[in-house]
Amino acid sequence: MLVASTDAWEAITGVTPDEALASEMGRRKRLLEQADDRARSGLAAELVLAADQFVITPTTRVADAARAHAEGDEIRSVIAGYYWFTDWGRDTMISLEGLTLTTGRFAEAGYILRTFHTMCATA
């Protein structure tokens, strides 16, 4: 089995490949369960899962993450094109509805909006 990850080596070796696969399958199942009933199978389910690759937790915004955690919140963003682009407010707001609201990811939609609100307020 080949494992590719951006996680620390300790995190990778902390679970077996079978455990990692089971966790990923469970995560995907939860994504589909929170989506609208009509988006839980077929092409719509594939789109729900495809949307997941664009919603990220920014790891380079340490200060933003610290402020959010202090308020009991999380930071999230949307990234359009690895590795050429970072997250852009315009692209994030254009895609927010399709990536989060129509896929049932309401909490993450709130995280994204608050992340950009904080970024604008501190800029």
Question: Rounded to whole angstroms, how far apart are CA atoms 40 and 49?
Answer: 10
> Which residues, other chains included, contact 111 with Cβ-Cβ below 8 Å and sequence gap of 6+?
68, 73, 74, 75, 76
> Which residues, other chains included, contact 21 with Cβ-Cβ below 8 Å and sequence gap of 6+?
none
pLDDT digits (tens, 9 = 90+) for 61-114: 888 889 888 988 999 999 877 666 778 888 899 999 999 999 999 999 999 999
User: Where do the structural domains in the chain lie, given as residue ranges?
Assistant: 12-122
Closest CA to 113 of 69, 77, 72, 85: 77
pLDDT digits (tens, 9 = 90+) for 26-74: 999 999 999 999 999 999 999 999 999 999 988 888 888 898 889 889 9
pTM of the model: 0.77
